[in-house]
Amino acid sequence: MKTILVIEDERDLLDLVAFNLEREGYRVLTALDGRDGLETAKTHLPDLIVLDLMLPGIMGTDICKILKNNEKTESIPIIMLTAKGEEIDRVVGFEVGADDYVVKPFSNRELMLRIRAVLRRSEPELKEEKIITVGLITIDTGRHVVTADDEEIILTTTEYKLLLNLAERRGRVQNRDLLLKNVWGYNYVGDTRTVDTHITRLRTKLGRAGDIIKTVRGFGYKMEDS
């Protein structure tokens, strides 16, 4: 789950961008001016910053420079928003260390694509690949294969994520809200009973190996550690 900070003084535009980002599944932080933006950037260390070039008070370029000169924030990619009239060409944008820029007026699609592209760049080449074994269950994250009782089990996306989550925290109880956050995403709105349904499906598919998924009445679920 990636966090994106948007620094933009036009409230309408800020809200619009924030809304679209959230719909794409990002966690969004906002700031209406440079000072606040800097503050938020330093305290929350977002994964990416969308920064308006023209801001009251501190200029966007200055914010960019400050962020790029701070050890904690220097590696956070920045996408600049520039108005067409502002004869800021690419070179100036990159001069202060921005990673990409989008010219206003921009389409939502374009901004989203560029954000995704910049985030993609900073993503590690190889994600952690591991093989987890709990009881009769084996999860190979690299191959995305789950085995129970030496039989390969075909799981759906949600089932897989849920199982992985339980397995990674084996031995510890997790309540439904926590599971919803970790598996379904922080901005998921819905019934907590959904978790129960998926637990049932998992247990069914896993057969007797599924017995290690224990219900902790009143608290949630856990996977036995033994």
Partner DNA sequence: TAGAAATGTAACATGGCTGTAACATGGAAT
Partner DNA sequence: ATTCCATGTTACAGCCATGTTACATTTCTA
Residues that bind DNA (CB under 7 A): 109, 113, 154, 156-159, 184, 188, 190-191, 193-194, 196-201, 203-204, 215-220
Instruction: State which residue, 109 or 143, has the beta carbon closest to DNA.
Output: 109
From the list 42-50, 60-68, 130-138, 211-219, the region that binds a second copy by CB under 8 A is 211-219
To the nearest whole angstrom, how small is the minimum distance from the Cβ of residue 47 to a second copy? Answer: 14
Instruction: State which residue, 122 or 200, has the beta carbon closest to DNA.
Output: 200
Q: Which of residues 167-206 bind a second copy (CB under 8 A)?
A: 171-173, 177-178, 180-181, 186-192
Instruction: State which residue, 9 or 24, has the beta carbon closest to DNA.
Output: 24
To the nearest whole angstrom, how small is the minimum distance from the Cβ of residue 166 to DNA? Answer: 13
DSSP string, 206-223: HGGGGGGEEEETTTEEEE
Instruction: Let me know the angle formed at the C-alpha of 90 by 12 and 14, rounded to the nearest 5 degrees.
Output: 10
DSSP string, 7-40: E-S-HHHHHHHHHHHHHTT-EEEEESSHHHHHHH
Tokens at residue 161, please? 């994520």
Which residues have CB under 8 Å from 199's CB, separation 6+? 162, 213, 215, 221
- First CA to last CA distance, the chain: 31
105 lies in the binding site for a second copy (CB under 8 A): no
